[in-house]
């Protein structure tokens, strides 16, 4: 088969699109947004049920809808979008043809069929096993089969990504090292391969068990291996959204990473250590020793947390330097005040960064500590934490990227630009408040995945304080705000992509391999001088102050929880 060498250059961004890559990125992004739509409707139903004053659905529907919400959001929306990001970071950023587009389409269709099969199984009503599908709770075989097909498709996509790196190197479409954003995508793809392999190791036997070919699945074994998949997939998200932060900072501000070396080393720490943190999901399980638990969740994980803090500093730091060089050099925070807050790509990215760090990061380190985990284990604190990471962090970052992609990738003008200005705030602030009040209610012990927090008619009742009900109410109202933000996003994206005004740009043309070779790099001066910006010897003093605020919040919250731990079981 002849290799497709049709490329086009976007006149406003200079990005180079390979014809099959462009099509695949579009289709994966569209599949992602459709999953988000379904998951969002389900989010509304779950939220209205957990709002004690409304308590919408009956119990069987609640667990069905909760299962579908978790899967459509955290597996299908996120991973379809990530595949689009992987193809973008390889083919587009390296100006290279996508390797094996035929395989990429096979992967895409496997993912589509898998997602459909899994959803059908859940909506039949006999697979309400929730996101984690813990054995010995059994689902319909189609539930596991759908996930396996989806995973195989995603694995193929990862290899298309690695293949594209090989092609780029062979055809010399870049010089030296791949760009930092691509390096972040490499990190995400590596974690994805481990994630999918672990998923296969556990889901294939479970599938065989569901059709009667295997007669026993050990529940602890299931949980241990399942979390190598369930947790690591969250680390794909982290690596992907951090890459998106760097990309948006570069696009909006022309910001250059403060130090390529430091940022790449931080990604390398992710590759080595992030996946070990899977053990924090088993902190309350008997059977595994404290050696295993503490090694994996403390010593190793703190190195990964360190890496996240590095990214959390270098991204705003790079923005600060770029802004100061543009002349916003007064005081500590002029660079931030004069940032383009009405550009939805920027506001989404910045809220993602702050929300991920302050809400998701701090709560994650607290929960990941073996002793403290007991305070909140299986309470609604847990979904509070991960809505801060995967919704405020990943989802909001992906929304920000979408606004950038609509004109350059889909070649459409953005519809409803006025609404787009507000969308990240409605969604982001709604979700931050939602997570915060979930965590508040969880600290008081309100269980997660629970249909009725009043325990009406139960033999062993429990009376939660009024504050817990109040917090669940505020949580639900904030959740509704986030749902409105989600609807705004869907209106803007679907409207623009299907009805937006077409932007006329030069079309695809054949580019021979030798014409795609990257130009010789211009030798750069080794040290870039930042003379004349910043204060007191710091080039980015504002970021430094933000970091101190973060560390203070972190330390205080951490120690308050140790104090709290000593009071949860009064022994006298």
Partner 1 sequence: MNNASNESPLDVDDEPVPAMQQILDNPFLLLFIGIAMPTVLYIVWGVMEIVGIPVAK
Closest distance to Cu ion from the beta carbon of 432 (Å): 20
214 in contact with partner 1 (CB under 8 A):
no
9 in contact with partner 1 (CB under 8 A):
yes
Q: Which of residues 103-162 bind partner 1 (CB under 8 A)?
A: 162
241 in contact with Cu ion (CB under 5 A):
no
Among residues 3, 60, 177, 340, the one that binds partner 1 under rule CB under 8 A: 177
Q: Which is nearer to ligand HEM, 209 or 434 (CB)?
A: 434
Q: Which is nearer to Cu ion, 87 or 229 (CB)?
A: 229
Q: Which x/- pattern over 53-92 shows residues binding ligand HEM (rule: CB under 6 A)? A: -------------x--xx--xx--xx--------------
Residue 47 binds which of partner 1, ligand HEM, Cu ion, none (CB < 5-8 A, kind-dependent): ligand HEM
Closest distance to Cu ion from the beta carbon of 203 (Å): 18
Residue 191 binds which of ligand HEM, partner 1, Cu ion, none (CB < 5-8 A, kind-dependent): partner 1
CB 384 within 8 Å of CB 439: yes
- To the nearest 5 percent, what fractions of the chain are helix, strand and coil? 70, 5, 25
Distance separating alpha carbons of residues 214 and 205, to the nearest angstrom: 7
Degrees, nearest 5: CA angle 286-288-294: 110
Among residues 18, 50, 95, 449, the one that binds partner 1 under rule CB under 8 A: 95
CB 374 within 8 Å of CB 329: no
Number of neighbouring beta carbons within 10 Å of residue 242: 31
43 in contact with ligand HEM (CB under 6 A):
yes
Residue 288 binds which of partner 1, Cu ion, ligand HEM, none (CB < 5-8 A, kind-dependent): partner 1
Closest distance to Cu ion from the beta carbon of 381 (Å): 13
**Side by side, which strands form the sheet with 16-18?**
16-18, 6-9, 509-510
Distance separating alpha carbons of residues 474 and 433, to the nearest angstrom: 8
Closest distance to ligand HEM from the beta carbon of 130 (Å): 3
Q: Which of residues 36-55 bind partner 1 (CB under 8 A)?
A: none
Count of positions on this chain that bind partner 1 (CB under 8 A): 56
196 in contact with partner 1 (CB under 8 A):
no
Classify burial at 531, counting beta carbons within 10 Å of its beta carbon; exposed 0-12, middle 13-18, buried 19 or more. exposed
Degrees, nearest 5: CA angle 427-432-433: 105
In terms of Cα–Cα distance, which of 314, 201, 319 is closest to 267? 314
CB 139 within 8 Å of CB 127: yes
Concatenated DSSP letters for 362-421? HHHHHHTSHHHHHHHTTBTHHHHHHIIIIIIIIIHHHHHHHHHHHHHHS-BPPS-HHHHH
Among residues 8, 69, 223, 231, the one that binds Cu ion under rule CB under 5 A: 231
Length of the chain (residues): 572
Closest distance to Cu ion from the beta carbon of 482 (Å): 22
274 in contact with ligand HEM (CB under 6 A):
no
What distances in angstroms separate CA 452 from CA 44, 75, 297, 387, 442, one per listed residue?
A: 17, 27, 32, 21, 14
Task: Catalog residues that contact ligand HEM under the rule CB under 6 A.
Answer: 40, 43, 46-47, 50, 66, 69-70, 73-74, 77-78, 130-131, 380, 383, 387, 390-391, 395, 434, 448-449, 479, 482-483, 486
Task: Catalog residues that contact Cu ion under the rule CB under 5 A.
Answer: 231
């Amino acid at each position: 088969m002849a290799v497709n060498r049709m490329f086009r250059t976007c006149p406003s961004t200079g990005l180079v699109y390979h014809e099959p890559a462009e099509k695949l990125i579009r289709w994966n992004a569209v599949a992602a947004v459709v999953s988000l739509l379904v998951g969002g409707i389900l989010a509304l139903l779950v939220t209205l049920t957990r709002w004690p004053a409304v308590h919408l659905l009956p119990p069987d529907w609640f667990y069905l809808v909760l299962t579908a919400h978790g899967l459509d959001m955290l597996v299908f929306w996120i991973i379809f979008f990530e595949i689009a990001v992987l193809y973008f970071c390889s083919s587009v950023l390296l100006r290279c043809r996508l390797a094996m587009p035929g395989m990429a389409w096979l992967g895409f269709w496997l993912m589509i069929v898998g997602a459909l099969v899994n959803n059908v199984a859940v909506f039949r009503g006999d697979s309400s096993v929730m996101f984690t599908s813990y054995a010995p709770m059994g689902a319909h075989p189609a539930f596991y089969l759908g996930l396996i097909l989806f995973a195989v498709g995603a694995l193929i996509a990862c290899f298309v990504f690695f293949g594209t790196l090989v092609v780029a190197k062979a055809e010399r479409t870049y010089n030296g090292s791949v760009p930092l954003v691509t390096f972040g995508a490499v990190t995400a793809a590596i974690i994805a391969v481990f994630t999918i392999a672990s998923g296969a190791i556990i889901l294939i036997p479970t599938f065989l068990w569901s059709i009667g070919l295997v007669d026993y699945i050990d529940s602890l074994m299931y949980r241990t291996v399942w979390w190598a998949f369930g947790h690591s997939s969250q680390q794909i998200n982290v690596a992907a959204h951090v890459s998106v932060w760097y990309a948006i900072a570069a696009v909006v501000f022309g910001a250059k990473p403060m130090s390529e070396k430091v940022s790449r080393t931080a990604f390398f720490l992710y590759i080595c250590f992030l996946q070990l943190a899977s053990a924090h999901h088993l902190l309350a399980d008997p059977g595994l020793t404290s050696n295993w638990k503490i090694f994996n969740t403390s010593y190793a994980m703190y190195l990964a947390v360190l890496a996240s803090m590095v990214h959390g500093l270098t991204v705003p730091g790079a923005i600060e330097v770029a802004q100061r060089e543009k002349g916003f050099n007064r005081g500590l925070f002029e660079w931030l005040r004069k940032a383009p807050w009405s550009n939805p790509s920027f506001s989404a990215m910045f809220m993602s960064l702050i929300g991920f760090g302050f809400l998701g990061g701090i709560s994650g380190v607290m929960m990941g500590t073996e002793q403290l985990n007991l305070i909140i284990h299986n309470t609604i604190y847990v979904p509070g934490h991960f809505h801060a990471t995967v919704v405020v962090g990943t989802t909001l970052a992906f929304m920000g990227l979408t606004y950038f992609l609509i004109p350059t990738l889909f070649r459409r003008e953005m519809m409803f630009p006025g609404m787009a200005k507000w969308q990240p705030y409605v969604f982001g602030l709604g979700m931050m408040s939602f997570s915060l009040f979930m965590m508040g209610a969880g600290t008081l012990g309100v269980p997660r995945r629970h249909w009725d927090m009043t325990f009406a008619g139960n033999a062993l009742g429990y009376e939660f304080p009024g504050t817990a009900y109040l917090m669940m109410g505020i949580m639900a109202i904030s959740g509704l705000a986030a749902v409105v933000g989600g609807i705004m996003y869907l209106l803007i994206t679907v409207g623009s992509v299907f009805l937006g005004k077409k932007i006329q740009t030069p079309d695809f043309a054949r580019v021979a391999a030798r014409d795609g070779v990257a130009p010789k790099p211009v030798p750069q001066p080794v040290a870039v001088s930042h003379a004349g910006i910043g204060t007191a010897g710091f080039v980015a003093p504002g970021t430094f102050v933000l970091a101190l605020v973060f560390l203070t919040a972190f330390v205080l919250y951490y120690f308050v929880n140790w104090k709290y731990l000593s009071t949860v079981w009064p022994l006298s």
